[in-house]
Amino acid sequence: SQQGEEDPQALSIQEGENATMNCSYKTSINNLQWYRQNSGRGLVHLILIRSNEREKHSGRLRVTLDTSKKSSSLLITASRAADTASYFCATEDNFNKFYFGSGTKLNVKP
């Protein structure tokens, strides 16, 4: 399977703390993307990192990619209660197909 696998499955932190989520995948990729999903809603794209990039920032988000280890991490700094959601990584192959993992469920306590 090409699916990404997120770790941990669930994460509970206090507001203001940083949250780190990890993703591992199995095959070569063109890019890796992170998405967020509020309960019962659709997924929303957060950030994309290409296979030739090692790190990318967007606001309070920092993504790293290590293609030699086939892994990525998503760091959310200074978390807020509104960051409570599920976070998914997705890999894209050469044929317009995206593969997702089971997600990390983040709970940020006020």
Binding site for another protein (CB under 8 A): 3, 30-31, 33, 35, 40-45, 48, 50, 88, 90, 92-103
In the complex, the smallest distance separating the C-beta of residue 54 from another protein, rounded to whole angstroms, is 18
User: DSSP labels for 54-108?
Assistant: SEEEETTEEEEEETTTTEEEEEE-S--GGG-EEEEEEEE-TTS-EEE---EEEEE
In the complex, the smallest distance separating the C-beta of residue 33 from another protein, rounded to whole angstroms, is 6
Of residues 81 and 98, the one with the C-beta less far from another protein: 98
For residue 9, give every residue at least 6 positions away whose Cβ sits within 8 Å of its Cβ, in sequence order, or none: 102, 103, 104, 105
In the complex, the smallest distance separating the C-beta of residue 30 from another protein, rounded to whole angstroms, is 4
Q: For the range 52-60, what are the long-range contacts, defined as Cβ-Cβ under 8 Å and sequence gap of 24 or more?
A: none
Tell me which DSSP letter residue 109 carries.
E
In the complex, the smallest distance separating the C-beta of residue 100 from another protein, rounded to whole angstroms, is 4
Of residues 55 and 98, the one with the C-beta less far from another protein: 98
Of residues 68 and 94, the one with the C-beta less far from another protein: 94
Of residues 12 and 51, the one with the C-beta less far from another protein: 51
Contact 104, 20 (CB under 8 A): no
